[in-house]
Amino acid sequence: MILISKYIVPRGYVGITIFPFMFLKSKGLKGNEILLNHEKIHLRQQLELLIIPFFVIYILEFLIRLVKYRNWSLAYRNISFEREAYTNEKDLDYLKSRPYLNFLNFFN
């Protein structure tokens, strides 16, 4: 379900997914297929990890990468979940053939 909320989406971002909702900063983003695909990839990741463990791993990995890179943006872009989503967001058929727990391939 897509909801519009400029208050839930953090500053500097245009969307955030918290199962089962996809929050977008503005109505105009509902037509952005690449953004929606990116967020759908996150929905699949969250389901695979039964939602709460996804967020625990996401936050822990972000903190580790923040210490490693000492840069918020670089740490965020290198979270394994984000790497998978950014790598495949333009492939609108990606979720049809995506292997189970595929984000594990993006850990470094």
Instruction: Tell me the β-bridge partners of 16.
Output: 23
* Residue pLDDT, tens place only, 26-59: 999 999 999 999 999 999 999 999 999 999 999 9
Express as a percent the part of the chain with pLDDT over 90: 91
What is the model's pLDDT at position 16? 98
| Number of Cα atoms under 13 Å in the Cβ half of residue 22 | 18
- In 3D space, the residue among 35, 78, 34, 57 whose CA is nearest the CA of residue 23 turns out to be 35
Read off the pTM. 0.93
